[in-house]
Structure 1
Amino acid sequence: MKFIIRAICLSALLSFTSWAQQVPLDRVAVIVDQGVILESEIQALIDEVKRNAETNDQSLPSDRALRTQAIERLILKSLQMQMAERMGIQVSDPQLEQTIANIAASQDASVADLRQELAREGVSYDDYREDVREELIVGEVRRANVRRRIYITPQEIESLVKLMDEQGAEQAEYDLGHILIGLPSEPTDADVADARDRADKVIELLKGGSDFAKIAIASSSGSEALEGGDMGWLNINSMPTLFAEAVQGKEKGELIGPIRSGAGFHILKIQDTRGIEKVTIEEVNARHILIKPSIILSEDKAKKMLEDFKKQIDAGEAKFADLAKEHSEDPGSALKGGELGWADPNLYVPAFKNALAQLQPNEYSAPIRSTHGWHLIQLLDRRFDDATEKKKEDKASQLLFNRKFQEETETWLREMRDAAYIEVLE
């Protein structure tokens, strides 16, 4: 018996020793202010980019260039996550699960389908959940810090409305590729000259037939670098002013730049264009009851309250408006019986917008969780119509905000990066 026990112990020790020899220990690769980036995080991001490139039949630059871009993205993410911690920004598990359910629904799939697809791709569902949680947190940090840097004047709105009127309801769209040769926040003349020289060399390579996405991944300082510089489809009014002026009148396949801005030198490629489309405006008229979880009121109890309200409404025991006036924690709508009035659904947070998209007029939602709390929603009606004058102003204001938000985000990230303590441990 002693022999058997001794043999088992020896076997376990040998197995552990063998495992320890085969699996390298993780290490700190970068120090970022009060945080660190591990080698495993860098490798995981590189592996993800390589998987995506293989799926899309996309060539990639050298591993060194890919690693440099991966480190830079993780540095910015680390800085934003540290700021989120200081600001007390968190995403609860119910909110996270609701977001993942919305992601699956947007692809006409269930969460179970999503989990199966992730498993086929070799991605852990737990890792995926945490990635989504971090994306939500980073989004909140950016909105909180960049929004206050944006100011839109009445004259800007008036000018854009006039431009939209001149263009009418038809607007060409551009699929843009973008490479940014970045500058530090306070560049010297030498910095500018060096960046201009690198931008000119990139233009030469592209004109010589080099792959745009590959060069973007290797060289761009833009936030979409790891996506091959793909900015997606944009119309004139939703892209940065600098780009809007540059692309007008240009055709598919044309290269534009270098264009100088405070961030550096931009190079654009019009990857595709699509025709003139009529703009139709969808508006929804909805009402809701908002219950916010707190130290006293748990997530489950807040959700249960709304489930009980819905049962009372369905049974004719209570009216939605009365319950909203008495219980809703949205001060802007509670006194109106929860009514939000006619609005563009894109103005609502994603969870609320997605819930509305699933409803028919006069239909109620199940309780849904958003960044604001738990909602019981009723869609009163929806309509598709041409924009009114007020709608044009609202749309112009939103387009200006989106344009400035993108520009200010790049500036904010660069300033935060320049002010941080960064040490890459080779």
Structure 2
Amino acid sequence: MKLKTLLLTAMFSLSMSNLSVAKEVQIDKVAAIVNDGVVLQSEIDTIINRVKSRAKDDSQSLPSDDALRLQAMERLINQELLMQMAGRMGLQISDAQLDQTLMQMAKEQGGTLADLRKTIESSGDNYQAYREEMRTEMTTQQVLRSNVERRIYISLQEIENLLTILDQQGQTNEEYDIGHILIDLPVEGSTQDIEDAKIRAEKVIKLLNEGSEFKRIAIASSGGQKALEGGQLGWMGINEMPTLFAEAVKGKKAGEIIGPLRSGAGFHIIKIQEIRGRQVVETVEVRSRHILIKPSIIVSEEKAKSMLEGFVKDLNAGTADFAALAKEHSEDPGSALKGGEYDWTDPTTYVPAFRDALLSLEKDELSQPFRTNYGWHIVQLLGKRIADKTEIAKRNRAQQMLFNRKFKEESFAWQQEIREQAHIEILADE
């Protein structure tokens, strides 16, 4: 990412009678240098103000402004590193892709894009600024996926072992709502560093056991990625957690504080906030075929969409063959050679926009062009059936659990690595 504006002050000339006075007015200032980018004080203030506003609405107490500033700084440094990586990768989120995501968010909340905008503006936020924050969030998540997924390998033996464990457990439908605090360690921490971190972790546990609010302590003390959200990791099954957590929560009850748990990152403290049964797995399966066109330097967003609109027109008129179009034009290597066909699949495994477009169709009906993270699609529903829970479904679920666990672990490790390689300079307050 290019340097944000480095102009820290501006000079304004003021005429006062016969005396001309130059007054220095501070517009913004750099709080940290991250390689060839910066973190601005205004960005830190925005995060702090939002956390304070949310805490006020929830009647939640917060730690000191210094603690909030540190957490906001850490988040923005990590975000800046990921955005710089996105720039090197040539990764950009288009307006069409952003709008598709926002419309999906609005739909999940039972409203329209206009309703979402109204809600954002009524809360005092600027909608355009919110859009750009969402673009940044989508970009950083894509960078993470692109770089972390290649580090993950799941063997057939691991899947078999997990299937055996799931069968032995009997009760595989439990999910845990987890709160997390990390007392982190320097990369090459000394024995004294480790001892000091352990003492801090034990003090945190003591405060929590005495009734201190978990979210407030997490915001003030945690070095984890979800610190500013009060350490809330959300719901996850025992086989989706990092191995360290999974072993620790077995047999524990809601409300229990667990830790300190030592890992290479530091000392972890977790709280089991709630326990619930896992939802029943969807038994509907669909068979479909699609054509994917990816926007590029040569093919614009508009061109990709218009190409597919032309295909739909020809297909509905009976002047084109779907399989032939897919083999010639589709940029999905997994299905193009098969005429764009996907075999019977649980639709929940598809990205939300593709899943929703597919499930809105009747048998043999063809969709209009729509956008996902992968590009522009048209899809045709070839069939729908109710399927029993098969061994394949169980195996896929086990593989996804292993992937989720490894992704969390590798994501943290990879971000630590790129941070160690970066030039980061925190500028002192004046």
In the superposition, the TM-score normalised over structure 1's length comes to 0.90
Residue 281 of structure 1: how far off its partner (Å): 4.3
Aligned to 1:329: 331
Distance 1:167 1:224 in 2: 30
Distance 1:162 1:279 in 2: 19
Q: Secondary structure at the match of 1:206?
A: helix
Aligned to 2:69: 67
In structure 1, which of residues 396, 399, 411 is the aligned counterpart of residue 398 of structure 2? 396
Superimposed CA distance per residue, residues 249-278 of structure 1 (whole angstroms, 9 cap, x where no aligned partner): 111111111111111111111111124654
Q: Secondary structure at the match of 1:379?
A: strand
Report which stretch shifted further, 395-404 or 360-369: 360-369
| AA in 2 matched with 1:395 | R
Distance 1:363 1:180 in 2: 51
Residue 148 of structure 1: how far off its partner (Å): 2.1
Aligned to 1:269: 271
Gaps of 5+ in 1: 1-11, 15-19
Distance 2:372 2:330 in 1: 15
Superimposed CA distance per residue, residues 186-240 of structure 1 (whole angstroms, 9 cap, x where no aligned partner): 3221221111111000000001110000000111111111111111111112111
Task: Give matches, 1:37-186, under 5 Å.
Answer: 37-168=39-170, 170-186=172-188
| AA in 1 matched with 2:43 | E
Aligned to 2:38: 36
| AA in 1 matched with 2:155 | T
Task: Give matches, 1:345-364, under 5 Å.
Answer: 345-364=347-366
Residue 300 of structure 1: how far off its partner (Å): 1.0
In structure 1, which of residues 391, 410, 413 is the aligned counterpart of residue 412 of structure 2? 410
| AA in 1 matched with 2:39 | I
| AA in 1 matched with 2:32 | V
Report which stretch shifted further, 367-376 or 59-68: 367-376
Task: Give matches, 1:220-239, under 5 Å.
Answer: 220-239=222-241
Q: Secondary structure at the match of 2:368?
A: coil
Residue 165 of structure 1: how far off its partner (Å): 2.4
Distance 2:242 2:286 in 1: 29
Q: Secondary structure at the match of 1:332?
A: coil
Report which stretch shifted further, 102-111 or 210-219: 102-111
Aligned to 1:8: none
Alignment of 1:300 onto 2:299: no
In the superposition, the TM-score normalised over structure 2's length comes to 0.89
Answer yes or no: is the 8 Å Cα contact 2:282–2:346 preserved in 1.
no
Distance 1:329-1:150 versus aligned 2 partners, 3 A rule: closer
| AA in 1 matched with 2:157 | Q
Distance 1:360-1:203 versus aligned 2 partners, 3 A rule: farther
Aligned to 2:248: 246
Distance 1:383-1:72 versus aligned 2 partners, 3 A rule: farther
Gaps of 5+ in 2: 1-13, 17-21
Distance 1:72-1:308 versus aligned 2 partners, 3 A rule: same
Distance 2:15 2:348 in 1: 60
Residue 99 of structure 1: how far off its partner (Å): 1.6
Report which stretch shifted further, 120-129 or 23-32: 23-32
Answer yes or no: is the 8 Å Cα contact 1:184–1:418 preserved in 2.
no
Distance 2:278 2:28 in 1: 53
Answer yes or no: is the 8 Å Cα contact 2:181–2:269 preserved in 1.
yes
Answer yes or no: is the 8 Å Cα contact 1:170–1:277 preserved in 2.
no
Number of aligned residues: 410
Higher relative contact order (CA 8 A, sep 6+): 1
Distance 1:33-1:336 versus aligned 2 partners, 3 A rule: same
